[in-house]
Structure 1
Amino acid sequence: MSNQINIGMIGYKFMGKAHSLAYRNMPFYFKTGKTPVLKTLCGRNEQEVKQAATNWGFQQTETDWKKVIEDPEIDLIDIVTPNHLHAEMAIAALEAGKHVICEKPLALNLEQAIKMEEVARKSGKIAMICHNYRFAPAVQYAKKLIDEGKLGKIRQVRATYLQDWLMDPEFPLTWRLDKEVTGTGALGDIGAHSIDLARFLIGEITDVVSLLETFIKERPTGDMVQGLSAKKNQNTEMGQVTVDDAALFLAKFENGAIGTFESSRFAGGNKNGNRFEINGEKGSIKWDLENMNLLEVYFEGDEEGLKGFRTINCTEEIHPYASAYWPSGHIIGYEHTFINLVKDLFDGIDNQTQPKPDFIDGLRNQEVLHAVEQSSLENSWKSIDTVR
C-alpha cells in the first residue's frame, strides 16, 4: 500500500489556498504515515484554475468535478466550494470510496447534513469537516484545562465572531449573500465556528432563542474575487440580499451552562474578531483569534491581591501541537490551524480512525444553525432536535 495520499481539491479560491498550503507544509513539521500529494485542482474557470494549480503546486487541473471523483488515482477529495455544492460532491466522493474533507458549514441545510452524515457513517471512509479554529494550540490547551476540571463546573460562555467587510452598501451581492447558495449569512459563515468551538469546549447545546437581522436588503450584483473581496458586474443590476447580516442568540447547554452568541459582518473595526470567554466555578478563560497564541486564564483560588487574568503564550512544548514548530514565544499564525488539522486528518487515514471534527460534528452544528433560524422566524425558544 502506498504511503502517498493523492488529493483532488474542488474549488480554488480563499479556502483552496489555505488548504493547499497546509498540505504542502504539514510534512515539514509533522511525521505522519501518509504523505499528501497535490494531484488535481478542479474549478469551472479553466484559466484561473490552471494559474492557481501552478501557484500552489498541483500536478494537473480539471473543470468537471465528477471526473476528479471518478479518477482511481485520487484518494482524498477536498471540498472548498460554495455551500450548496457540498452535499452532492461529498456524497458522490464517499460512495466512490474516497476520503473527504469538507469546508464548513457542512451543508446548505439540515436535510442535506443528515444525508451526508448517514453516507459518511456507512462508507467506512474518513470524513472530516474543516473547523480549523479548534486546532489553535491555545484553544486545545483551553480544552485541556476544562477537561481536567481546572475551571470547575462551567456556567457561562460568551462567544462573538465579528467582521466588518460588508458594511459598504456598494459591496456587491455575491454568493455569500444568496440563501440558495450559502444557506445563511453571518450565522453560518462565521457563527458556525463559534458554535463548533462552544460544543468542542463545553458540550452540546439543547435550546436557543435568536434574532437575525439584514441591514442592507439590496445590493449591486457581482462576484467574489479572492479572500473577502469582490467586484461588481458591469451592468447596474441590483439584487435582493436573502440572508442575515447579523445573528444573535442565547443558548442552554446539556451540562447546565448558558451562553450568548453574536455573529456580525457589520461590526466596524473588527476584521476577524473570533473571541470567547468561558466562566466556571473555579476560574475563567478568554481567547481571541487575532491574538491566537495567547490564552487568558483566571483562577478563583489564587491568593487575595494576586487574583486576575494571567496571559499564557501557548507556544511551549507542553501546549498541543506547539512542539512541532518553534522555540517558546516564537508565535505561529492562522495558517498553522489548518496544518494541525491536516496532521490529524492524515493520522486518521493512516490509522483508519476517524479524527474530529467529523461529519457528526458537522451535523450537530447544522442542527443548531437550523434551530437558530427557526427561533428567529417564530420568535420563540427552540429545542435542538438531534437526529441520532
Structure 2
Amino acid sequence: MAKKQLNVALIGYQFMGKAHSNAYRQVARFFDIEVEPVLKVICGRHEQKVRAAQERFGWQEYATNWEDVVARNDIDIIDIGTPNNTHAQIAQAALKAGKHVLCEKPLATTLEDARASYELAKKSGLVHGICHNYRFVPAVAYIAQLVREGRIGKVRHFRATYLQDWIVDPNVPLVWRLDKSIAGSGSHGDLNGHLIDTARFVMGTEFAEVIGLQETFIKKRPLLADTEGGLAGFKAAQDMGEVTVDDVTAFLARLENGATATFEATRLAPGRKNYHRWEINGEKGSIVFNQERMNEFEIYLTDDPQGVQGFHLVQSTESFMPYMSAYWPVAHIIGYEHTFINLVHDFLLAIVRGTPFTPNFEDGYRNQAVLSAVERSCETRQWTKPEK
C-alpha cells in the first residue's frame, strides 16, 4: 500500500535549513512511518546560495519568493527556518493559505504577533508546531515522564543555565542575532527561550510571576561586511554599530505548581560552547541534565538504600525510552540531528492521523509571554505576571 505523501516547502536554508532538511530525508529511514515527506521546494532570498542548498540538501526545486511558495497548491507543509522577524508574517500567511506549519522558535519577536499567530492557528484546524527540538532528546522526554509519574515527588526547585561564548571576542561583527529589529532579543529569547519551554514541558506547569535583570556588556561591534554572515566565516567591516540586544539575562520565577526557579542565559561565558544544563529538585529526589552530554542524565533518589545513595548516571539509550527503539542497540548514542528527526516524525504523524502536535503555537505563545514578562520586569524592577 502506497504511503500518503506530503509535499514540504522549507523557507530558509542556513543552520536550521540544514537541520530540517536532514530530518525530512532521514525520518523514514529510522521510523516505520505511515507518511512520506517529499522535499518539494527550498526557498531563500539569494538565488545562488539557495540553489546550492537545493542541490546539497536534496530538494526538488528552489525559489526566491516565499509568498509565491506559500500560494502554491501543491504544498502541504510550510516549514519556517528564517530569521526571527519574519516568522509571524510567514506563519500567518501559510495558515491562511491552508498549509500545516512548522516554525522555528521564537513564534514571533513580539508578544502581540505571537498571540495573533496562535489565535489564527487555533481557528484554522491545521497542524501547527513550534520547533523546540530539545523536547525530543530521549533523555529529556524520559525525565519528563519520570517527573509526571511522581518519581521525585512534588517538585520544589528548577534551576537552569544556558551558557555560550561565541561572541566573547568584541571583534565578532553585528550578525543578525545581535540586532533587536531582526532577532527580537539576544541571549534571552535565543537561550532562555529553550529553558522556559523545557521547564514548562518537564514539569507540566506554567509560570506565575518573574523578575529579572539584563545587561549588554559589549555595546558596539564592527558592522558585518558580508550580509549573509553567520556564526562562522563572517567578515567584519571597519565601521562600528550598536548592539541592540542583551548579552546576558537572568531571572527568578515562581511557577504555578508552587516550585521556585532560576534561569541564566549568556553568550559571554568563556569556555562554554553550548552549556545547556538544568536540575530539578523534588521531595523524593533530584534529576540533572546537560545537553552537551545528551545521551545521559543523573538522578538521586531518597528511597535508595542507605549506603548507596548518591547521584547515579543513567544512559538514556534503552529501547523503552522515548524514540530510542528507532535507532541503535543500548549505549550506541544518537546526536543533535536526531532531535529534529524525532520532532519531524511526531509532526508528520499528527498531520496524517489528524491529532494535535506539541509543542504547538500555543506553547510558542506561552513561552513568548514569559520572555516578555521578564523584559518588562527588567525595566520596572518588579515581579511581573506573564499575560494569559
Q: TM-score, with normalisation over the residues of structure 2?
A: 0.97
**Structure 2 match to 1:14:** 15
CA distance in 1, matches of 2:230, 2:293: 20
**Structure 1 match to 2:186:** 185
CA distance in 1, matches of 2:54, 2:336: 22
**Structure 1 match to 2:176:** 175
> How many angstroms does 1:172 deviate by?
0.5
CA distance in 2, matches of 1:31, 1:19: 19
**Structure 2 match to 1:378:** 380
**Structure 1 match to 2:73:** 72
Q: Which moved more, 1:215-224 or 1:39-48?
A: 215-224
- CA deviation vs aligned residue, 1:277-336 (integer Å, no higher than 9, x gap): 000000110000110010111101112211101111011111110010000000001001
- CA deviation vs aligned residue, 1:96-142 (integer Å, no higher than 9, x gap): 00000000011011000000001101111111000000000000110
**Structure 2 match to 1:103:** 104
Give unmatched runs, 5+ long, in structure 2. none
8 Å contact from structure 1 (residues 13, 226) kept in 2 = no
RMSD (CA atoms)? 1.2
**Structure 1 match to 2:63:** 62
Which amino acid in structure 1 is aligned with residue 314 of structure 2? Answer: I
**Structure 1 match to 2:210:** 208
**Structure 2 match to 1:358:** 360
- CA deviation vs aligned residue, 1:139-188 (integer Å, no higher than 9, x gap): 01101110111010000011111100010100010110111111110001
8 Å contact from structure 1 (residues 171, 230) kept in 2 = no
Aligned residues: 385
CA distance in 2, matches of 1:123, 1:33: 24
Which amino acid in structure 2 is aligned with residue 244 of structure 1? Answer: D
Which amino acid in structure 1 is aligned with residue 342 of structure 2? Answer: N
CA distance in 1, matches of 2:230, 2:155: 36
Runs ≥4 in structure 1, deviation > 6 angstroms? Answer: none
8 Å contact from structure 1 (residues 224, 230) kept in 2 = no
| Shift in CA distance, 279/226, structure 1 to aligned 2, threshold 3 Å | farther
CA distance in 1, matches of 2:34, 2:24: 14
- CA deviation vs aligned residue, 1:169-208 (integer Å, no higher than 9, x gap): 0001011011111111000111100000000011111100
8 Å contact from structure 2 (residues 3, 34) kept in 1 = no
**Structure 2 match to 1:228:** 231
**Structure 1 match to 2:159:** 158
> How many angstroms does 1:227 deviate by?
5.8
- CA deviation vs aligned residue, 1:68-91 (integer Å, no higher than 9, x gap): 101111110000011110011000
> How many angstroms does 1:56 deviate by?
0.3
Q: Give the 5 Å matches for 1:122-141.
A: 122-141=123-142
> How many angstroms does 1:230 deviate by?
5.0
- CA deviation vs aligned residue, 1:247-290 (integer Å, no higher than 9, x gap): 10000000100000000001111111111100000011000011
8 Å contact from structure 2 (residues 9, 43) kept in 1 = yes
Give unmatched runs, 5+ long, in structure 1. none
> How many angstroms does 1:65 deviate by?
0.4
CA distance in 2, matches of 1:101, 1:269: 33
CA distance in 1, matches of 2:3, 2:29: 19
Secondary structure at 2:167's aligned position in 1? coil
Which amino acid in structure 1 is aligned with residue 263 of structure 2? Answer: F
Secondary structure at 2:195's aligned position in 1? helix
> How many angstroms does 1:229 deviate by?
2.1
Aligned-residue sequence identity (percent) comes to: 53
CA distance in 1, matches of 2:44, 2:386: 36
Which amino acid in structure 2 is aligned with residue 319 of structure 1? Answer: M
CA distance in 2, matches of 1:251, 1:169: 31
**Structure 2 match to 1:88:** 89
> How many angstroms does 1:228 deviate by?
2.2
Which amino acid in structure 2 is aligned with residue 4 of structure 1? Answer: Q
CA distance in 2, matches of 1:220, 1:379: 32
Which amino acid in structure 1 is aligned with residue 48 of structure 2? Answer: Q
CA distance in 1, matches of 2:328, 2:256: 39
**Structure 1 match to 2:344:** 342
CA distance in 1, matches of 2:325, 2:276: 24
Q: TM-score, with normalisation over the residues of structure 1?
A: 0.97
> How many angstroms does 1:238 deviate by?
1.1
